[in-house]
């Protein structure tokens, strides 16, 4: 390995070290990149004129129409959450299914999947579900491990069920990686990997996870009915229950189906659909008289805070990756992965293991902005289908979020759980759901058609 390779390896290790010690992510990435660029110039291992491309990169990010969908989807999900519509959905679903053993847990899974499709943000979904449903489940006598495991797993579906913001950024990164790999192989007109492809590719594994969660709850209801008792029904009779359920669930459900359906059927781009979703969520909140100036200000602040965090991370990672490639690091990564035993699958195992471990310590956006530009071009060169790769990475990040002892979702849930809920119970409760995650990852790995068949059938190719 020459000097450029040594510098690029040292730069990557330095960046991870700063992140693990808790320094600000975006500024750590950018400062490490610029420091090693200066060091490379001093040692004649880096061409400083490459930095002239940085303003153009930043401008291209700001002009990327797909990325405009991110703050709009965040706005839509935050509006549903802060206006109380999400709470209404959960309460109505709990009453609808609650008379059955395990019915409340079924409601949590169903509403969790719907919230995932509307918020796309794991932290918001976990906190919302934990605050609303955990006290009810504990009050009616649910086993604490089943309750916490169901809530954590259902909320984390926001990672893989579209229109997840994680999938949007992952799709943009994969588009760039695929173009680099194809053009390096001499293909000047590579087949695109669209956000719609990734949405469709993740939809089937996400729904399979929902099915496995529901089957587990059904098993617990049959084998240990005392662990998931029915919920006392509110007054008003069955007609009143149906009216409350329709009123609470139908409008948000229609909005979610309209937004997702327009993307998946090709009638609108993700950005156009996100704009409709944002306006629709505000309209629903206004119709329910849940929207006032303070709520609107809170929604706007939350959207601006999360969106700015994600984009400034992307800017910092762009600096790091430009310098990394300028030092020749991408060539060494490709050589390293290409020489591993097992070919593509050996390289995939190493990358997936790194992503899984980093998921204990870093936010998914941080991992995406670092690991995808670093490894995806090499994996695609080795023969990985970029769509298959993207779905596996999304599922991997979701699993890492759930896995004890460091999973982010577990800490989110711990922060809103009552003191009577022990941390060890949260860890134990999530284990069956983590096993389901591993089953789906293995299935997608062995049978790529689970991820690729639906988008290829819908869009051709």
pLDDT digits (tens, 9 = 90+) for 231-261: 776 655 666 667 777 777 778 778 877 887 7
Whole-angstrom Cα distance, residue 172 to residue 406?
28
Q: What pLDDT, on the 0 to 100 scale, is given for residue 176? A: 82
Cβ contacts of 291 within 8 Å, gap of 6 or more: 83, 282, 285
Q: How far from 452 is each of 24, 153, 184, 351, 444, CA to CA, in Å?
A: 37, 24, 24, 20, 9
In the DSSP assignment, the letter for residue 232 is P
Residue 338 pLDDT class (50, 70, 90 cuts): confident
Q: Are 105 and 144 in contact (CB under 8 A)?
A: no
pLDDT tens figures, 125-139: 677 777 777 888 888
Cα 411 to the center of its chain, rounded Å: 17
What percent of the chain is predicted at pLDDT more than 70? Answer: 92
Q: What pLDDT, on the 0 to 100 scale, is given for residue 304? A: 86
Residue 177 pLDDT class (50, 70, 90 cuts): confident
Instruction: Compare 44 and 246 and report the one with higher pLDDT.
Output: 44
Whole-angstrom Cα distance, residue 15 to residue 371?
12
Residue 357 pLDDT class (50, 70, 90 cuts): confident
Residue 18 pLDDT class (50, 70, 90 cuts): confident
How many CB atoms neighbour CB 222 within 10 A? 10
Task: Show the tokens assigned to 85.
Answer: 């519509």
CA dihedral 99, 102, 107, 109 (to 10 degrees): -170
Across the range 10-35, mean pLDDT stands at 82
Q: What pLDDT, on the 0 to 100 scale, is given for residue 190? A: 65
Q: What pLDDT, on the 0 to 100 scale, is given for residue 438? A: 92
What percent of the chain is predicted at pLDDT more than 90? Answer: 11
Q: Are 132 and 87 in contact (CB under 8 A)?
A: yes
How many CB atoms neighbour CB 95 within 10 A? 23
Whole-angstrom Cα distance, residue 376 to residue 96?
45
Q: How far from 431 is each of 105, 336, 373, 400, 452, CA to CA, in Å?
A: 16, 34, 31, 12, 28
Indicate the average pLDDT of the chain.
82
Size of the chain, expressed as the number of residues it contains: 461
Q: What pLDDT, on the 0 to 100 scale, is given for residue 1? A: 59
Across the range 384-399, mean pLDDT stands at 90
Q: What pLDDT, on the 0 to 100 scale, is given for residue 389? A: 92
Residue 217 pLDDT class (50, 70, 90 cuts): very high
């Amino acid at each position: 390995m020459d000097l450029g390779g040594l510098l690029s390896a040292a730069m990557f290790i330095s960046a991870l070290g700063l992140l693990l010690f808790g320094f600000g992510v975006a500024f750590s990435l950018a400062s490490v990149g610029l420091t090693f660029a200066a060091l490379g110039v001093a040692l004649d291992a880096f061409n400083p004129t490459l930095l002239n491309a940085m303003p153009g990169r930043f401008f291209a990010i700001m002009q990327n129409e797909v990325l405009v969908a991110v703050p709009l989807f965040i706005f839509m999900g935050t509006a549903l959450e802060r206006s109380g519509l999400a709470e209404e959905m959960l309460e109505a679903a709990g009453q609808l299914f609650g008379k059955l053993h395990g019915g409340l847990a079924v409601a949590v899974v169903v509403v969790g999947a719907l919230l995932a499709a509307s918020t796309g943000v794991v932290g918001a979904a976990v906190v919302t579900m934990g605050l609303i449903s955990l006290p009810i489940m504990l009050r009616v006598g649910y086993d604490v491990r089943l309750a916490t495991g169901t809530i954590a797993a259902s909320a984390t579906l926001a990672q893989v069920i579209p229109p997840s913001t994680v999938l949007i950024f992952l799709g943009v990164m994969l588009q760039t990686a695929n173009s680099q790999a194809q053009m390096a192989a001499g293909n000047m007109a590579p087949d695109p990997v669209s956000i719609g492809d990734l949405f469709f590719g993740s939809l089937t594994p996400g729904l399979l996870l929902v099915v496995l969660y529901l089957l587990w709850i059904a098993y617990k209801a049959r084998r240990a009915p005392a662990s998931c008792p029915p919920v006392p029904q509110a007054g008003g009779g069955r007609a009143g229950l149906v009216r409350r359920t329709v009123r609470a669930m139908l409008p948000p459900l229609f909005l979610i189906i309209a937004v997702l359906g327009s993307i998946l059927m090709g009638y609108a781009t993700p950005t156009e659909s996100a704009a409709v979703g944002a306006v629709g969520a505000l309209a629903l909140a206004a119709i329910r008289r849940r929207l006032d100036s303070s709520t609107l200000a809170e929604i706007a602040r939350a959207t601006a805070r999360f969106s700015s965090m994600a984009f400034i991370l992307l800017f910092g990672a762009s600096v790091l990756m430009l310098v990394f490639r300028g030092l020749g690091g991408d060539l060494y990564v490709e050589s390293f992965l290409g020489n591993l035993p097992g070919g593509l699958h050996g390289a995939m195992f190493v990358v997936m293991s790194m992503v899984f471990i980093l998921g204990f310590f870093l936010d998914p956006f941080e991992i995406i902005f670092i690991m995808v530009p670093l490894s995806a071009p090499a994996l695609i060169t080795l023969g990985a289908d970029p769509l298959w790769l993207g779905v596996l990475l999304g599922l991997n990040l979701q699993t890492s979020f759930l896995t004890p002892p460091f999973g982010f979702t577990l800490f989110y849930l711990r922060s809103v759980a009552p003191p009577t809920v022990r941390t060890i119970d949260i860890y134990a409760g999530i284990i069956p759901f983590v096993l389901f995650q591993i089953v789906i990852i293995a299935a997608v790995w062995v049978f790529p058609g689970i991820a690729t068949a639906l988008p290829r059938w819908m869009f051709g190719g």
